[in-house]
Amino acid sequence: MAILETIVIAFWAMLPAYVPNNAAVLAGGGRPIDGGRTWGDRRVLGDGKTWRGTAMGTLAGVALAAVLTVIEPTASDALGFAVPAFEPLAALGLAGGAMLGDILASFLKRRSGRQRGAMFPGLDQLDFVVVSLPLTALLATEWFQTWFTLEVILVVVVLTPILHVTTNVIAYKLGLKNEPW
Ligand code: CTP
Ligand code: K
Ligand code: MG
């Protein structure tokens, strides 16, 4: 498979997992998931993980997957190779897994003494991949095996941190995010 083709497929397949974090930044606020609870002298998750942000992030990812599925035949035609249409469970695994990964990362950040907004290099850039891919493999196994070949997974692992850093710096410069990570 040509490398450019692999990159396009990886990017397309991961879009429903990329969008939730950004949507959560825009839609977040309100009641924190941990309800303000602490474990020891630290918050369980912190004020940065809210019900609204999580719900809206997941919805945004699933909605994008639906749109991509509608335009898939046209896109595949124009590209000259097939990009994925999303099964509902694949969309849910990617979008919900991204939000879950972000929440687990905040849990780890709080446990390791990091305040809300603190940087955790590596985890910040890949938390959503680490959960969304296994969850999708679990929920939509055949679909996952069809599209997430070893090559695609390798591209995702390299491409995701680059995209994550870029979009977060842009969101920071636009004043949408408090920190550029
Ligand atoms: N957000 C949210 N719900 C989520 C994820 C994010 O409401 N599940 C919103 C919050 O307003 C959050 C912002 O998006 O402050 C940025 O997300 P993120 O960088 O993940 O959170 P931080 O505030 O940096 O907190 P943490 O240190 O826990 O990552
Ligand atoms: K995060
Ligand atoms: Mg942050």
As a whole number, mean pLDDT of residues 95-114 equals: 97
Ligand showing the shortest atom-to-Cα distance for residue 24: 1
| Cα separation, 40 vs 75, whole angstroms | 51
For residue 45, which atom of ligand 1 is closest to its CA? Answer: 28
| Cα separation, 84 vs 69, whole angstroms | 7
Cα 86 to averaged position of ligand 2 atoms, centre (Å): 25
29, 53 in Cβ contact below 8 A? yes
Q: What is the pLDDT of residue 1?
A: 62
Model confidence band, residue 103 (pLDDT cutoffs 50, 70, 90): very high
**Is the pLDDT assigned to residue 177 strictly greater than 70?**
yes
Proportion of the chain above pLDDT 70, given as a percent:
99
Tokens coding 28: 């977040």
What is the number of residues in the chain?
A: 181
* pLDDT tens per residue across span 109-161: 999 999 999 999 999 999 999 999 999 999 999 999 999 999 999 999 999 99
Tokens coding 144: 């996952």
Name the CA dihedral angle for 129, 131, 133, 136, rounded to a multiple of 10 degrees. -140
